[in-house]
Structure 1
């Protein structure tokens, strides 16, 4: 499967169309991006591309970042054992704002749509990853390196298959123990074996009988009906980011909602009573 056919792209014309299309993708996982032109890469790739133009240095930079985090994070943790598990450590870094090679997906297309539409940079995108097919797929360069073989929950897997940044692999899954944010967002993680290539290019190197990824483009005009629908589903920053930080983030949309007429009507009723 070539890169050109590795990703199906669908331009949507309504929020209902997105809901109907995503409902057909049983078992798939989703990722929202605020600009459909952004490549499907990790936050670590974006950061290193900006500040370290020599990709040959990227594995060293990544290794040092993880080492520094492990050396210092124990001060803030009730159970520092999480730092000994490569995937849990990376997930902890990611969800506290550190750039990592993890790419966040969610089992909910609506959570993905929230992240895509909340702060638009033009037309947005929701990527859908065909995890049922990817579960059985393997890279052409070495068919033995299937998902089970490179499972990042195994103690030596990260160092063996990912840390060297040399193998065009993709693993997806969840840590053995998930943090509160991953639970709230129905999160699942995709992990590329090389940082330089976008996820769709890595997936193009996999042998599969059906497309492994699909891209829905959500025009900016859909933002208002999308966020209203998501608000009614109780999908907001307050629910997706448990704690005071999430509640504070949610005030952005409260400021956008048109409550004025409700207030006027309420005050009018008070005046008549």
Structure 2
């Protein structure tokens, strides 16, 4: 088993978030992406859900086939049958396991996902990634769009076609819905099943920050004060209903404990 990835520093407040963003920006020189994990343990590694849940691409291609076959009658604007990048993004958006891993350009958004359930009795973590340095490690000098022909070999195995099982690339995609815009969403696409932090020389393009369990509730409150909340990041009625219900439950809990 490989050694656990080292912690760069701890985060206790929203001020620490900005300091960590500055540290990452200086260390990587280029643009920085972030990802929040509600659990800091090594079992929450940097792998897409489909690689975490299923042992080979046979299960993955079955997911793709069944989703594409049945989505046409349920979604008014399905992608063209040959647009593999658009299909992967649509699946990712609706929670189907794919070989895409979500990142954000905002450390505040990443922190929300790390501490949203602050009652979880574990430390949380935020990862910082240099997409430019990651791609350079795979001999790609830029950050391509997911639809770029250079990435097709990484996508084809998900669709039951021959491709490659090597490579993890940082990629961009069109902001096809409001959620992607608000969350400042970006992706890495993983043909390789190895967790990102276990790649050789991963400390060249990755940093990790720990959020102690005792600091999560305070940080979640500070994020709400800064306007980073469930209904803002997921702008639909379902998440609005969940947020306002949670708010009133908190009010009641404070009154009962007064």
Please give the range of the TM-score, normalised by the shorter of the 2 chains.
0.7 to 0.9
Question: 2:198 and 2:184 mapped to 1: Cα distance?
Answer: 25
State the distance in 2 between where 1:190 and 1:121 align. 29
Check the 8 A contact 1:59/1:165 in 2, yes or no: no
- 1:189 aligns to 2:187 (yes or no): yes
Equivalent residue, structure 2, for 1:28: 32
Q: Which residue of the partner structure matches residue 105 of structure 2?
A: 107
**8 Å Cα contact 1:147/1:171 also seen in 2:** no
- TM-score, normalisation: structure 1: 0.76
- The count of corresponding residues between Structure 1 and Structure 2 is 239
**How far apart are 1:23 and its partner, in Å?**
3.1
Q: Which has the larger radius of gyration?
A: 1
Paired with 2:245 and 2:37, the residues of 1 have a C-alpha distance of 18
Match of residue 124 from structure 2:
124
* CA–CA separation in structure 2 for the residues paired with 1:216 and 1:129: 12
Q: 2:17 is paired with a residue of what secondary structure? A: helix
The separation in 2 between residues aligned to 1:60 and 1:182, in whole angstroms, is 29
Does structure 2 retain, via aligned residues, the 8 Å contact 1:12–1:18?
no
State how 1:1-80 maps to structure 2 within 5 Å.
Answer: 8-12=6-10, 14-15=12-13, 16-26=15-25, 27-37=31-41, 38-48=44-54, 55=55, 58-80=56-78
Query: 1: distance between equivalents of 2:242 and 2:53?
Result: 24
Q: 1:245 offset after TM fit, Å?
A: 2.0
Q: Following superposition of structure 1 onto structure 2, how do residues 215-254 of structure 1 map, counting pairs within 5 Å?
A: 215-251=208-244, 253-254=246-247
Query: Per the alignment, do residues 105 and 13 of structure 1 end up closer, same or farther by CA in structure 2, a change over 3 Å counting?
Result: closer
Q: CA deviation at 1:73?
A: 1.0
Q: Does 1:157 align with 2:161?
A: no
Distance 1:156 1:84 in 2: 16
Q: In 1, distance between residues paired with 2:8 and 2:246? A: 27
Q: Using the alignment, how far apart are the partners of 2:116 and 2:163 within structure 1? A: 33
Unpaired runs of 5+ in structure 2? 26-30
- The root-mean-square deviation of aligned C-alpha atoms, in Å, is 2.8
Q: Give CA deviations for 1:39-75 in whole Å, capped at 9, x if unaligned.
A: 1111112221xxxxxx3xx111111211111111122
Q: Which residue of 1 aligns with 2:28?
A: none
Query: CA deviation digits over 1:156-196, x for unaligned, max 9?
Result: 733x234257433111222234322211211111111123x
What is the rounded CA distance, in whole Å, between the counterparts of 1:170 and 1:96 in structure 2? 22
SS in 2 for 1:134: helix
C-alpha distance in 1, partners of 2:65/2:105?
31
What per-residue deviation string (whole Å, max 9, x for no partner) do you get for residues 182-231 of structure 1? Answer: 11211111111123x111123x267xxx7200111100111122111110
